[in-house]
Structure 1
Amino acid sequence: MKLTFKDYGLKATERFLKTAIVIDDEIIAEQPVKIPEGELEQPPFAAGMPEQAQAGVTVPDSTQQATERDAEVQIKPLADAFLDKRIVCGVLKPEVSDNDDQVVDRAVRAATVADIIIIDWYLRPNQDNLARSILGKILTEDRELNGRLRLVIVYTSADPLAERRTALAKYLRKAKFDAVEDPNDDTLLMIGACRVRFVRKKSLNVGMTVEDLPDFAVAEFAKHSNGLLANFALLGIAALRDATHHILANLDSGLDTAFVGHRMLLGHDTEARGFAMNLFLLQIKGVLSLPKHLGGALGDEELTAWFDERFGYPDADAHLEAAGTTKDQLRDSVLKGSGKLDSAHKSLFLPASKDDPTKVGNVEKELSQNFARFATFVREPDGFNSLPKEWLPTLTLGSVVKLVGRKTRYFLCVQPACDTVRITEDRYFPFIELVTKNPAKLTENLVIRDGEKRVIVRVSTSAGSRLYDKFKPDASQTVHAESEDGKFCFPSTIDHVYWWLGDIDPLKAQRIATDVSGSLARVGIDEYEWLRLGGSARK
């Protein structure tokens, strides 16, 4: 049977999800005692004895008992259902004697390692303060990490769910979160990369049973992480999780002596850490390169499923016709590289601009530039990955900087990595200029972000494109940036100030340095032109 793109997302999500945490004050471990229906038979020894009711005892009816059990969560069937999906489920049950701050801290710590959070709305009798505090603190920590893909299921007996969603949205907006209430679903709340879904606990014929929660959670997470590259990443991370203990077994203590010897011969801890990082990445690459993990990912079948879903919106055919193509033609261009690829590339962005197809060119430009940065930069100020507090950039191979003078100029540091460490005195660093002229196919192009604007630059190969400036190392024997109003700069010894715009992939930087060095090494001589043209006068 042909898989839909939703099916691919579910498969990747099921492989990825490993941990869940349930936060509820009504968690019970034992199965409830079931009272049989109908009248109970009288035991033989009681035959003939007069019936006598106990004074002052009120026997609750079945409806009252069911209502009291609405808030309870039976942990065994829930944990078993999660384990059937290879997901480990933890439990946090706030007791009356527990301090609220301690409960919040424990919940936040658990959330840092949980793929799925299931939380009750009332963690204290008829009070939602504790649940809101927990969710607010979790989202605050996520925001400090520049966002995190997160699924929260508020599993509650508190009705109506729409009012609970509104209450949480109002609370989060006061905390400066952009909480978006889905107009088409009154149980869904989006806060950046966090998806909060309100679900009714099972009561009589209404709500969801605990046994159904794992399937529901997987489906919700798959909706949240729906994408080609997201599916690829989910499969890759799942493979690494499965292989974690194998990698640890390979890196046993028997290798330590050789590594320490390497560190001793180097005489510098920074390079030793870099070597250890490369060693670790090599093990990871060895795992991910095995066909059983990612062999079928991003193949034609998945790409076709992605295309069909992407262009399944009502006006897709009309938009494609206006762009001069059809679904079949565009699909062939995607899978086979056929047709006019320039116009086909722009048409790919029609779903992202379906509200106003005339702006497809702007959408193509913006998304392509963002992807170019994502594929090139390891670090940026306010980039895709957050920078640690108190962290300072190091001037090294691949650092992109801005020099402001009579005009703004951009440069790429091409100092060999080995010459950016163990610096004991002022040292010159070489830079290659990045010019804002039209991009060229025969040289390297970069998209850099300078404040709020994005600039496309290309590597200048002209003889005057090199710049040298001298910098002073600090106690770490490297050149660290200085922090100034949230920005980073490298002051040179001659009072030039280079503003740090990010670090690109060192391998790409090395290739740029090699290409430029090669062009500068060309030797120009006077020679017979006919022979230079290959024995012909034809140019």
Structure 2
Amino acid sequence: MNFADDQYNAASSFAYTMIVVDDEPVDDPVEPEPAVEVKTPGRRDVAAAKKVDQKPEAQRSHPLDAKGLIKSALDLGLVCSVVNPTGDEGSVAKSVAKASLRADIVSLDWHMNHGDDGELASEIIQEILRGDEAIGGRLRLIAIYTGNKDQGAILEKIAERLNAAEEIAGNVSKTGDVLTNSSGLRIIWREKSMGNEKLANAVSETQLPKELLEAFSELSNGLLSNVALATISSMRDTTHHVLSKFSSELDGPFFHHRALLKNSSDSMDYAVSVVMSALKSEVDKSKVTSKYTTVDAIKRRLSLMPQSPENFTLRYSKKDQEKEFKLHIDDVISIMERGFSAWPDEDKQAAVGRQQDKQASPMPPKDAFSKSFSTLFCDTIEAASFSMRQFSFLTNSQSSELSMVHRKAPPKLGLGSVIFSDADGGYFLCLQATCDTVRGAGLFFFVPLEVVNSDTPDIVVPHGRNGALINYVGLSVPPKCYTKSLSLDFGVINDAIGHIPICYDEQREIYHVPDANNTDYRWLANLKYKRALRIAQNMSQEISRIGFDEFEPFRKG
């Protein structure tokens, strides 16, 4: 078993549905053209052959064995729908795009509408990506399944059209034999075999579902992405079981709960949290971690990295100089399992002995491993630092300006909100008690945050971009932050809304909220509730310290 198997297992457990659009679906298997007797051609035969060869590819028949395709998909657990666009060309693009929001895999014929040279297929792809962007983006596999052998021209035409569409963000580029972008899009080309098993690279309809599942699995290229797919799959599998727990008899207690709240809008979030808690309980029972985060799974992932097996390089600074130390994959696994401090001396000596370069530095100090371990999996210290901040942001924030979903459901200002002021270039963290964010006057309590360049910031938030990369800013809560705290007035809260709304500015492409004095603040993120609550608790402990005069010689620090 290798990491590709982990990818495929996670992807196949996740993918449920597949849409295939083709204007020549047939019920019976496609038969290859019968062999003809070989003879020396005459002049008339040559002329006739030239006429056949001159027939445009777009006008040739490329039938689809719909019955074989659907059966093969069902055998893999995929629900497959075959759509014939003939006679419905005007609306099929929007219909397929709408259905694709709930489909995992989409396959399109290239020549439809009596040989349109990919016009309808390109339009469908464009509509699908519009829909994906409207919901904030998603992983998306689209396959062009056609008898047209000109793979390069087809992919280039699609890329050209998508890059010219102003409403589609993210540049599409051709890498090898696929089209990709930074938002999780993957467009591939597969050739129809049309019953001819002798075609080396062609794929039959019965082979296509498994072929596309394997391509879909390549969207999940990391251990954590496998865990994400398997976790969501587990949630899907337990959906009806969880639904059975929420019977109509529970509405009464929920109404009772809502009636006792001073602000009834709080109950809406509570209802969702109860459902999510039930889902989390079922996911825990599915043993996702025992399948995708074991030592063996980690080793399979590491073996796929370009550094494997002997070139995992620890990069660290010593006396303002960058040092390097190479480790074998077994050393990396051992450190992850036992920690560097528990690493036996013989293993350390073995690691030193494995270094081929006689001028290599000696075994790094313990703090080099604790601070720079992530450099083993990156090419530079800077790349490792970026990935560390990205992961910290993911684990500590529940929402941010990166989410396009907020444009339909704006975020709320409250405990854990991080905002930025252009006026003084400062970052501020809201520590307003949750119950006070939806009641009374719009006065909110904030503490300032300091920008830090160290590897251990308290908070990481996205703030714009640095070229093509998201700019993740490391922030820390200053000591005795309560002495620098401030109150910002955002006006009286509208009872109909129940909270201070954060608006999206289309022109500046930012989320912002003005205070009562019309000072504009850019909203960057909302921390997870417990993370923000811990910062508030730390601050309250600082305030509540007891200090008094005592006999100094006997005072215990």
Instruction: Compute the TM-score of the two structures, normalised by the length of structure 2.
Output: 0.80
Counterpart position of 1:528? 551
Amino acid at match of 1:326: L
Per the alignment, do residues 88 and 270 of structure 1 end up closer, same or farther by CA in structure 2, a change over 3 Å counting? same
Counterpart position of 1:468? 487
CA positional deviation for 1:166: 2.1
Q: Does residue 517 of structure 1 match 2:537? A: no
Whether the 8 Å contact between 1:320 and 1:326 is mirrored in structure 2 is: no
Whether the 8 Å contact between 1:116 and 1:151 is mirrored in structure 2 is: yes
Q: Following the alignment from structure 1 to structure 2, what is the Cα–Cα distance between the partners of residues 283 and 208?
A: 43
Counterpart position of 2:526? 503
Q: Does residue 307 of structure 1 match 2:320? A: no
What is the CA deviation profile of residues 407-437 of structure 1, one whole-angstrom value per residue up to 9, with x for unaligned ones? 322221111111112x2x4243211221235
- 404, 407, 424: which one aligns with 1:389: 407
Structure of larger gyration radius: 1
- 107, 118, 132: which one aligns with 1:118: 107
Counterpart position of 1:201? 192
Q: Following the alignment from structure 2 to structure 1, what is the Cα–Cα distance between the partners of residues 453 and 99?
A: 51
- 333, 347, 361: which one aligns with 1:331: 333
Aligned runs of 1:370-449 on 2, under 5 Å? Answer: 370-381=390-401, 383=402, 385-389=403-407, 391-405=409-423, 407-421=424-438, 423=439, 425-436=440-451, 445-449=458-462
Q: Following the alignment from structure 1 to structure 2, what is the Cα–Cα distance between the partners of residues 440 and 197?
A: 40
The SS at the match of 1:392 is coil
Aligned runs of 1:43-82 on 2, under 5 Å? Answer: 71-82=62-73
Counterpart position of 2:358? none
Amino acid at match of 2:12: E
CA positional deviation for 1:438: 6.7
Whether the 8 Å contact between 2:310 and 2:327 is mirrored in structure 1 is: no
- 216, 237, 252: which one aligns with 1:221: 216
Superposed CA RMSD? 3.0
Q: Following the alignment from structure 1 to structure 2, what is the Cα–Cα distance between the partners of residues 481 and 37?
A: 70
Counterpart position of 1:366? 386
The SS at the match of 1:266 is coil
Q: Following the alignment from structure 2 to structure 1, what is the Cα–Cα distance between the partners of residues 4 and 552?
A: 63
CA positional deviation for 1:265: 2.3
Instruction: Compute the TM-score of the two structures, normalised by the length of structure 1.
Output: 0.82
Q: Following the alignment from structure 1 to structure 2, what is the Cα–Cα distance between the partners of residues 496 and 216?
A: 56
Per the alignment, do residues 367 and 146 of structure 1 end up closer, same or farther by CA in structure 2, a change over 3 Å counting? same
Counterpart position of 2:229? 234
Counterpart position of 1:24? 22
Counterpart position of 1:60? none
The SS at the match of 1:90 is strand
Q: Does residue 271 of structure 1 match 2:262? A: no
What is the CA deviation profile of residues 423-481 of structure 1, one whole-angstrom value per residue up to 9, with x for unaligned ones? 2x42432112212357697xx70123333344322112414132223332134232223
Q: Does residue 169 of structure 1 match 2:186? A: no
Amino acid at match of 1:181: K
Counterpart position of 1:357? none
CA positional deviation for 1:9: 1.2
Whether the 8 Å contact between 2:179 and 2:188 is mirrored in structure 1 is: yes
CA positional deviation for 1:180: 1.5
What is the CA deviation profile of residues 61-108 of structure 1, one whole-angstrom value per residue up to 9, with x for unaligned ones? xxxxxx99962212222111111111111121112x22x231111110
Q: How many residues align?
A: 487
CA positional deviation for 1:312: 4.8
Whether the 8 Å contact between 2:407 and 2:504 is mirrored in structure 1 is: no
Whether the 8 Å contact between 1:27 and 1:72 is mirrored in structure 2 is: yes
Counterpart position of 1:106? 95
Counterpart position of 1:11? 9
Q: Following the alignment from structure 1 to structure 2, what is the Cα–Cα distance between the partners of residues 188 and 488?
A: 35
Counterpart position of 1:246? 241
Q: Following the alignment from structure 1 to structure 2, what is the Cα–Cα distance between the partners of residues 344 and 517?
A: 31
Counterpart position of 2:171? 178
CA positional deviation for 1:120: 0.5
Whether the 8 Å contact between 1:17 and 1:87 is mirrored in structure 2 is: yes
Whether the 8 Å contact between 2:419 and 2:522 is mirrored in structure 1 is: yes
Q: Following the alignment from structure 1 to structure 2, what is the Cα–Cα distance between the partners of residues 325 and 345?
A: 16
The SS at the match of 1:113 is coil
Whether the 8 Å contact between 1:236 and 1:294 is mirrored in structure 2 is: no
CA positional deviation for 1:392: 3.4
What is the CA deviation profile of residues 127-169 of structure 1, one whole-angstrom value per residue up to 9, with x for unaligned ones? 1211110011112222344431111111101122222222222
Counterpart position of 1:131? 121
Amino acid at match of 2:487: Y
| Structure 1 residue ranges without an equivalent (≥5) | 39-66, 354-359, 534-538
What is the CA deviation profile of residues 226-284 of structure 1, one whole-angstrom value per residue up to 9, with x for unaligned ones? 21111001111111111111111111212112212222222544201111011011111
CA positional deviation for 1:492: 3.1
What is the CA deviation profile of residues 171-229 of structure 1, one whole-angstrom value per residue up to 9, with x for unaligned ones? 222225522112xx4x4222331111111101322211111112111211111212111
Per the alignment, do residues 426 and 268 of structure 1 end up closer, same or farther by CA in structure 2, a change over 3 Å counting? closer
Counterpart position of 2:130? 140
Amino acid at match of 1:471: F
Whether the 8 Å contact between 2:437 and 2:499 is mirrored in structure 1 is: yes
Q: Following the alignment from structure 1 to structure 2, what is the Cα–Cα distance between the partners of residues 8 and 237?
A: 15
Percent of aligned positions with the same letter in both sequences?
A: 25
Amino acid at match of 1:160: D
Counterpart position of 1:46? none
Whether the 8 Å contact between 2:314 and 2:375 is mirrored in structure 1 is: no
